[in-house]
Every structure is written in structure tokens, then in C-alpha cells.
Structure 1
Amino acid sequence: MRILLTPILVFMLPFMAAAQQTLPHINGPRLYGARPGKEFIYTIPASGERPMSFQVKRLPKGVTVDAGSGVISGSIKKAGSYKVELVAVNKHGKSAKAFTLVIGDKLALTPPMGWSSWYSFGRSVTLDKVIRSAEIIREKGLQQYGWSVIEIDDPWTNQPPNNDTTWIKLKQKTGTAYSYYEGPDNLPGRVGATRDANGTLIPNQYFKEIKKFPALMHKMGFKAGIYSSPGPLTCGGVAGSYGHELTDAKFFADNGFDYLKYDWCSYGSLAKDESKAELIKPYRLMSDALRAQKRDVIHALCQYGMGNVWEWGNESGGQLWRTEGDITDNWKAVYSAIKKLADKAAYVKPGNWNDPDILQIGVVGAQSEGEAKRNHLTPDEQRTHFSMWCMLDAPLLIGANMELLDDFTLQLITNEEVIAVNQDALGKAAGLKTVLPNKVEVWSKPLEDGSIAVGLLNPTDQEQATEFSFSTVAGSSAFHVRDLWQKKDLGLFENKVSASIPSHGIILWKLVKK
């Protein structure tokens, strides 16, 4: 049986939606994790007409909220769960949400969300380009949906001159571990001394003001992200952190960085092999160094899935770990990354996230072409891509050049109902439940409120008419079904529901038990 909306209600829905868009609405997760005594920043993600003011009721000692920006910052000395109420107010009304500051031993209780420079600018990245991207993200209202990390990727430090002994030492590799680094002579504008007399990293000419970057990001309500490698060189061939881990961790934290992408790269020339112990070693070293600092810094392991990293990534002290090499904007690459995680939901939980790489939506391609200028994924493929990253509880980092952001991409990344699947506090990733006779895949993910997120993914080259039985994912026979992309209640269904799915497309539903 299906319950249909009455005609008068259907007629009123567009007007109701328009009115709701002007009201404040607090998005994002219902909790945030920080360590005792560590400095942190969290911006209340609230959509609705500006200007808007914010308050937090029952805020614990040690932290404050900026009423104009909604930025919560400070530190809480004592471990515990602090239940507060977030409030957002504009001229149309107010919105309130229960929220918990979880002060303990875990960071990133929901997957990080933000933007990375790699697929936008590649090796031509500059501080000015990153700051401009952050400005556009704020202007477009993406912060209001939880997009908070602005990450500077490779290469922001200097490359050693071609006669530096680093190049010779790396070529003397004797182990069997994977190693990759570029240079010398590939970055002529970024060559110079790599560290000062105190051992501190020297930024290249395009990042001279990098120490001011975190403060600027915090003022704008963002978290500041940075990039390095456990090897002597990054993948692009500039200075990494090998032998200077404590110095670099202090540099990052003292200057206010909140997020570190730590890329294996040239470390493979030093590792003996790809045994679990050798793979964990450099990441555990940096995790311990970061934990010793005054500030919470999320540690993102980038090592391409070697040694089944999802099985031991948490032992490294990191909060997320790459399960793939760099992916590209083609269906084969995206679908392969999805299928690789079909049976790995058991390794995902709050503070432990599988990362299949940066989102290939919008205008990307700078990592291979030097400039972001295309996307080879169809609109349906991009929607599937984003849907499945949300279903898999993957970190959500936008790779698109913000200067070239189009309306379609903006609509994808501001659908708060789809994002909420990713940011659900239960922290359970989706798994592949079954493949139907027409090859349509049924993926499901339990949500904290007892509902179920279901994705019907069509990997074939033709549109598929599909009949989906609730028994595939649950024992109950009747569910209220909501289409998350359409933001529309479809009705109450008994036993099954039918749908048509475009080639490489997806239907994303939320099932609520009758």
C-alpha cells in the first residue's frame, strides 16, 4: 500500500519550501570531539537568510562563541560529554539544536568536510589561490552546510637544489616498499633552502605568509589544513618531515593548523618493506608528535591503501586513511573505489574513516593537466559519486576549482539531507547488501535514529527498472520512504517499492519504519 500526498498539500509544498529557506536551520552533526585541554574550533553550520546571530546555551568554561559568526573556540580541561544547545536567529525566526561537545580521546567523530587544493591547482598552488577559494566557499554559503576545512596540498615548501645529497640518498633505496617523488628540476620556481637554522620548514616564494593563514581561516570560520610527508620529500619533490617530526608538528600546531594530510611519498625509499610494522611506524611517530602539541590536529594518513590500511589505521593514531591511490574523474575510477569498500564497513566507526580520495565533482584535473578545466563524469555519475561517499562515511573534501563552480555542483554539495547521511553520529558505513538480477546494487547504512539509508546503484550502461524489497535490508515490511535528492516524502509502502534508475545513477532513500 502507498499513501499519496493530497493535491492541496502537493500544491503548497513549493511555497512551504521557499519560506523554510529564509528561516534559520542548523545543519551538521549532533556532536563534536576534542581532547582535554587542547585548543579547537567549530563553526555552527546554519543555513538561512543573513544576517544571523548565534548563541550556545550551557557552554562549558574555557570556550566561547562568536555571536556574529557562530564560531565556537577554546579548550575544555576536563574530559566528559557536555550537552549544550545551539541557537541561530534571523529576522524570520530561530532554530535550536541539541549538541554535545565530547571531550575525550577521539577526534573527527564524524567525517571531516572541506576543500583541498590538489585537484584545483596541483603543483601551481599558491597561498593567494587558496585564500580566494576559501572566500568563494564562504560567499557561496558552503560553510552553512558543514564545509569547514581548507587544506593546502603539495607543494608549499621548497625543493632541495639538484646537487643536494637528499636526491642521492633516496636513489640508494634497498627496501621493497612503494616510493614516489618527483624532481629534481620539476619545480623551478620553488627551489631553495628547505629549513632555517632552527630546523623549521621554509615555505617557498608562493607561501611566504603561510604562518598567517590559520589565523585568517579561523577568522573566516574555517579550519586550516596543511600537507607534508613522512619522507624527506613530498610526492611533488619539496621538503617533507623526515627527521623533523616533532619540529613540524609544533610548527603546525603553534601556527594554528587543525588538519594534516601526511602523504607516504618518498618514505618508501627508507622503509624496509610494506609490513604492517613498517607501514605504521612513520604515521605513529607523527600522531604522537601531534598529540603532544597544544592544539587538536586531525591526522589524515595518505598511503593509498597499502597493507589493508583499513585493518590497522586506528593503530597509527590517525583519524582517516586513504584506501586508494589518486582517483580521477572517470566512471571506472570512481566505481572501482566504491566497490573496494563494499565489504569494509566493519572497520569504520567514529574517529576511524576509510578515505577513497578527494571528490571528483565540479571542475577538476589540475593534478594531471596543471589546471582544473574539465570533468569527465556525467551529472548522474557525479550524483552517484557524492551519494556513495556519503553512504560510505568517507571524508568529504571538494576537489573542484571554486572559481569555476557551477549551479549543478553547488546543488550537489548543499543538499543537507544527503550530507546528513555522511555526518550521522552513529558512524556506521554502508555495505553492499545484494546485487539484483538486473545488476542494480543495493547498499544500506543504519542511522542513529533507527532509520535506514538505502542506495540503489545502477552500474550498467542502460537505465534499469527496479523492484526493491524491504526484506533485503530489514525485517519490517512497511516503511515510509523519503527521496533524499528530491527532499520529498514518497509515501508509505508495504513490502517493496519500484523505481527507474539511469545508467551509472543512484536513488538515495531514507526508510523509516511504520
Structure 2
Amino acid sequence: MVSVSSAPRFHVPAAFGVRPGNEFFFPIPVDGEGVALHCVNPPPGTRFDAASRSLRGQFAAPGTWPISFEAENSAGRVVCIVKFVVGDSIQLTPPMGWNSWYCFSEGVSDTRIRTVADALVERGLAAHGWNFVNIDDCWQGERGGKYGALQGNERFPDMAALADYVHSRGLRFGLYSTPWISTYAGFRGGSTDGGSEERIFLPPEERLQPNQVFGRFPSLYQRNVNRTGTEWRVDDDIRQWVEWGVDFVKMDWLPNDLPTTRRIAAGLRNCGRDIVLSLSNNAPVADAQELLDCAELCRITGDIRDEWESISTIGFDHPAGWRLAAGPGRHPDPDMLQIGAIGIPNRPNPTYTPSRLTPEEQRLQFSLWCLLSAPLLLSCDIAGMDDETFRLLTNDDLIAVDQDPLVCPPRIRDCGDGVLEYRKPLADGSEAIGLFNRADEIRRTRLEIPRRGRELWSGEERELCGEFTVAPHSCAVYRSGSPAESGR
């Protein structure tokens, strides 16, 4: 369901980070019917692919490259300039995309991932910037290949071909791993005890899946494989990920300690490909600055649930130290959006059920995550998405707040009675102002901002000095100041 517009509209970040000498993959989301897209000035070492609407390649040396993209259809022609910053930092704005965990969980497969990639494009979400397709736990098979790396299991017969397919749809490709011997779901991890751990594998007849060798969660604790083994194999895996064309890796263990994080980050920085590092889970806030020196994303909590208490606690109550550590290429991660129809973690999930969050609570989560410049990662059924969910997820005004290149944390004021005011400076000099009601009843509060603002859900314009009424578990988000679109 590609949105119908007049002239094309770009939904790209204003800035994109690349490390010198590394391969990168950059999708160019643009919506509109019958759009022809091309790159006006591809730099040396890069190549533009019109079919996948992507730029890829490498930059030899540090610097800044303004690259122009031109989109045209029968209604008009639009040019967008993206600043490519070649240096130490990548993923300068929060990633947007999809993760398999709450949707497919133990039932993830090559076929289902291709279905999601197709649906992101055909339903029109990719055109609005949702361009990561990340496989969570349960893809791992045995070690092998020329690097002795983890290979895909029986449901993933050709990872390189799958990555190529995802890239051909103009999307980025991600995987999951852990430095532990076992993943949380009981598959092989990024370290071993030199093979001696095979003595505690489940017998084949007791396994739920052939390669779920340690058993379904929480079996890894009972088998004492929730630890880093004596033999570090993550570097072997990284070499394989580079060859496959991986763009994102979620590394999942607890606690996210600094020595292990530094070791993983060093392997990725020197691998020859830009791979976004996402740490999971529940990282210690005392190490926030140093962890985000190493990784582009860092989970600030345990697993989120599609319940108001979980959304409210995670969204509003996380320590201020995480917000203060945020910035371009540094994204505290309050976990995935609980929006749309989802499944049950640690189950195969052949079917899905609507999120237990009300429509207002889903809109609040999306708004709050955007005010926080949080990663926007879905884990719902894309192919079966209803129109209401699609409209929520293609609110380009809210997405622009999330993707603003300043990645500036909001200032927060407790207005009392469960109402919170968030004020977020934006790169064009404007400001996003959010009013959030955590209470179970309607609340009235005041703003004292002597400017007009436009509400980003209803489009209503009004003075921001006066009384506001906010429904329970709901929000209002205004943009005030410059009418520019922050480079989008």
C-alpha cells in the first residue's frame, strides 16, 4: 500500500556515517507513484543501484561528502542531499526496521524473512524509512565453512543468498548472536569450551529443533552455558558475516560488560564492512558513556511486553544517565515497538494476535520513542498489517523527530498528576513538545510556551500557552518554530 502523493518525497536521514575503507549499504527511501530515482554525484568507490534504490561501496579517506539524489515522477522532480560523514561513527540516526523475535521467534525461517522483506516494500513501509530486516535468535546451526563460523540451520540453507535478496529489495540485513556458549533460545553461541560442551547437548530425540542443542529458554541456565566459553569464536563469525553482507548484529548477553563489549567492537571495526552493533540486554547505566563509545545501540532494559505497565515503566522511568549519553551514532535502546499483531516469545508462532496495547497506548509508545530518538524496531506481522497500524507507522512528522540529526535528548518536566512534558530541540531550530498522560484518567495541564505549534497527529495548530487536556494513557505532540522538515 504505497502512499499516493503528488511529487516524490524523500525519507532519508540528513546525515549517514561511514568508516573509511569499509563497505557500506545505504537505502534511499522515497515515496510516490512511478518514481524514477538516480544519484547525481556518486563519489569514487561507490555505486548507485536504481533497482534497489541504494548506494553502496566504500570511501577511501575521512571527510564529508554531500551526495545528491534526484527523484522524479509525472507530478514533479525533487532533489535531496545527504551528508555522508566518513569517520569513526556509523548509524548517526536511530535505526528503523523490523526484528523477528516477537513475530516469528522460534519459527523464523528464510522463507518468512523474504516474506517480511517483500511486505515492507509492497505495503509501503520501506518508502518511509523502515529498512532494516533483522533475524533474531534461532537461525544458528553448526560451525563450518572456511572460517569455522556459525552457519544457518536447516531453515536457513543459504544465508548469503538471503542477504542478497534483502539487499535487492533496498533493505539492510541483520543477525543475532551472543558471546556466550548458548543463545537464550538454546542455539550455539559465539564461544565454545573447545567442543567439550557437546557432552551436555540434548539428545536429538529430545530437541524441539535439530539445532536447539541446549534446549528452550531457560535451559541455558540449568546447563551452565550462559557464559563465555574458553574458546572465543566471535571473530570467526564476524568474518562470515562480512562475506554474507550483514549490516547489523544484535549481541545478547547479561551483563553487557565492558571488556567483552570492547572485544566485540574491535572485531567489527576492523572487519572491512560497516556493521551496526546493538548490545542487549539491560546494560548498566554506570557504563552508559563507555558502552556507547563501542556500540551504536545499547539496550537499557530487559525485554519489553505489550502491556501498559511495561511500556510506561520502560519509556518513562529509565535513568537519566542514558539520555545524557545519547547523540549521533549513540542510541540508548528501550526495546522494540509493541505495535501491530505479534506472537509469543520462545514459541514458533504460526499465527499472531493484536497487541494488548490500546490504539492510544500504541500511539503513545511510538510518540515517546520518537521524542527519545530511540531505535524504531517493529516485530509485528507486516504482510497482514491493518490500515490503522500502517497510518500510525507512516506518520512522517513523528519519524522526522526521531530521525533528527541532532539526536538531542529531551528536557523533561513533571507537570504533576501523571503528566509529563518533553521538549526536544531539533536541528532546524524548531522544537518538538510532547505531553504524556500516564494516569488512568483525563488530565488537564498548562504549557507556557509563547509560540504556535502544530500537533503531529491531528494537524491542529494552536498557541502553546494555555490549558491542555490529555486523555488517559495518551499524548499530544507539537512541533513549534521553523516549518522546515529537518532534512527529510
Instruction: Look up the match of 1:452.
Output: 431
Question: What code does the residue aligned with 2:166 have?
Answer: M
Instruction: Tell whether 2:245 aligns with 1:256.
Output: yes
CA deviation after TM superposition for structure 1 residue 483, in Å: 1.1
- Mapped to 1, the partners of 2:30 and 2:151 lie a distance apart of 38
Instruction: Look up the match of 1:325.
Output: 302
Instruction: Look up the match of 2:100.
Output: 117
Instruction: Tell whether 2:17 aligns with 1:33.
Output: yes
Shift of the 436–128 alpha-carbon distance from structure 1 to 2, 3 Å rule, reads same
Counterpart contact for 1:254–1:294, Cα < 8 Å: no
Counterpart contact for 2:123–2:383, Cα < 8 Å: no
Counterpart contact for 2:25–2:57, Cα < 8 Å: yes
Instruction: Look up the match of 1:182.
Output: none
Instruction: Look up the match of 1:481.
Output: 453
Instruction: Look up the match of 1:202.
Output: 151
Counterpart contact for 2:100–2:135, Cα < 8 Å: yes
* RMSD of aligned alpha carbons: 2.0
Instruction: Look up the match of 1:138.
Output: 121
- Mapped to 2, the partners of 1:497 and 1:62 lie a distance apart of 55
Counterpart pick for 1:500 among 457, 463, 469: 469
Alignment of 1:280-359 (within 5 A): 280-306=258-284, 308-315=286-293, 317-341=294-318, 343=320, 344-359=322-337
Instruction: Look up the match of 1:462.
Output: 441
Select the structure that is richer in helix. Answer: 1
Instruction: Look up the match of 2:202.
Output: none
CA deviation after TM superposition for structure 1 residue 369, in Å: 5.4
Instruction: Tell whether 2:139 aligns with 1:156.
Output: yes
Instruction: Tell whether 2:387 aligns with 1:415.
Output: no
Instruction: Look up the match of 2:186.
Output: 237
After the TM superposition, which of the residue ranges 304-313 and 343-352 deviates more from structure 2?
A: 304-313
Instruction: Tell whether 2:43 aligns with 1:60.
Output: yes
Counterpart contact for 1:89–1:95, Cα < 8 Å: yes
Counterpart contact for 2:292–2:325, Cα < 8 Å: no
Deviations 1:185-211 (CA, angstroms, capped at 9, x unpaired): xxxxxxxx4446852213211111222
Shift of the 437–336 alpha-carbon distance from structure 1 to 2, 3 Å rule, reads closer
Counterpart contact for 1:54–1:66, Cα < 8 Å: no
Instruction: Look up the match of 1:394.
Output: 374
Counterpart contact for 1:441–1:458, Cα < 8 Å: yes
- Mapped to 2, the partners of 1:77 and 1:197 lie a distance apart of 28
Counterpart contact for 2:108–2:348, Cα < 8 Å: no
Shift of the 500–298 alpha-carbon distance from structure 1 to 2, 3 Å rule, reads same
- Mapped to 2, the partners of 1:319 and 1:215 lie a distance apart of 24
Question: What code does the residue aligned with 1:122 have?
Answer: S
Instruction: Tell whether 2:7 aligns with 1:23.
Output: yes
CA deviation after TM superposition for structure 1 residue 437, in Å: 3.6
- Mapped to 2, the partners of 1:341 and 1:115 lie a distance apart of 23
- Mapped to 2, the partners of 1:90 and 1:428 lie a distance apart of 35
- Mapped to 1, the partners of 2:347 and 2:436 lie a distance apart of 30
- Mapped to 2, the partners of 1:118 and 1:205 lie a distance apart of 18
- Mapped to 1, the partners of 2:346 and 2:473 lie a distance apart of 24
Instruction: Look up the match of 2:205.
Output: none
Instruction: Look up the match of 2:195.
Output: none
Instruction: Look up the match of 2:78.
Output: 95
Instruction: Look up the match of 1:70.
Output: 53
Select the structure that is richer in strand. Answer: 2
Instruction: Look up the match of 1:217.
Output: 166
**Count of aligned positions:** 438
Counterpart contact for 1:249–1:286, Cα < 8 Å: no
- Mapped to 2, the partners of 1:105 and 1:502 lie a distance apart of 44
Counterpart contact for 1:324–1:357, Cα < 8 Å: yes
- Mapped to 1, the partners of 2:473 and 2:111 lie a distance apart of 37
Alignment of 1:359-370 (within 5 A): 359-367=337-345, 370=348
- Mapped to 1, the partners of 2:258 and 2:114 lie a distance apart of 33
Shift of the 342–410 alpha-carbon distance from structure 1 to 2, 3 Å rule, reads farther
Question: What code does the residue aligned with 1:260 have?
Answer: V
Counterpart contact for 2:343–2:353, Cα < 8 Å: yes
Instruction: Tell whether 2:32 aligns with 1:48.
Output: yes
CA deviation after TM superposition for structure 1 residue 418, in Å: 0.4
Shift of the 451–341 alpha-carbon distance from structure 1 to 2, 3 Å rule, reads farther
Instruction: Tell whether 2:453 aligns with 1:490.
Output: no
Counterpart contact for 2:285–2:300, Cα < 8 Å: no
Question: What code does the residue aligned with 1:32 have?
Answer: F
- Mapped to 2, the partners of 1:99 and 1:204 lie a distance apart of 39
- Where 1:61 maps in the other structure, the secondary structure is coil
Question: What code does the residue aligned with 1:452 have?
Answer: E
Deviations 1:440-495 (CA, angstroms, capped at 9, x unpaired): 1101111001111111001111122332212xxxxxx3x13011112x2504x3x6
- Mapped to 2, the partners of 1:132 and 1:256 lie a distance apart of 19
- Mapped to 2, the partners of 1:47 and 1:83 lie a distance apart of 22
Question: What code does the residue aligned with 1:44 have?
Answer: I
CA deviation after TM superposition for structure 1 residue 365, in Å: 3.2
Shift of the 307–444 alpha-carbon distance from structure 1 to 2, 3 Å rule, reads closer
Question: What code does the residue aligned with 1:136 have?
Answer: A
- Mapped to 1, the partners of 2:443 and 2:76 lie a distance apart of 44
CA deviation after TM superposition for structure 1 residue 342, in Å: 6.2
Counterpart contact for 2:106–2:346, Cα < 8 Å: no
CA deviation after TM superposition for structure 1 residue 26, in Å: 0.9
Counterpart contact for 1:245–1:285, Cα < 8 Å: no
Deviations 1:47-84 (CA, angstroms, capped at 9, x unpaired): 111x2111222321111222344211111112111112
Question: What code does the residue aligned with 1:383 have?
Answer: R
- Where 1:144 maps in the other structure, the secondary structure is helix
After the TM superposition, which of the residue ranges 443-452 and 339-348 deviates more from structure 2?
A: 339-348
Counterpart contact for 1:82–1:102, Cα < 8 Å: yes
Instruction: Tell whether 2:424 aligns with 1:442.
Output: no
- Mapped to 1, the partners of 2:287 and 2:156 lie a distance apart of 32
- Mapped to 1, the partners of 2:306 and 2:52 lie a distance apart of 35
- Mapped to 1, the partners of 2:163 and 2:147 lie a distance apart of 22
Unaligned runs of 5+ in 1: 1-18, 159-192, 269-273, 471-476
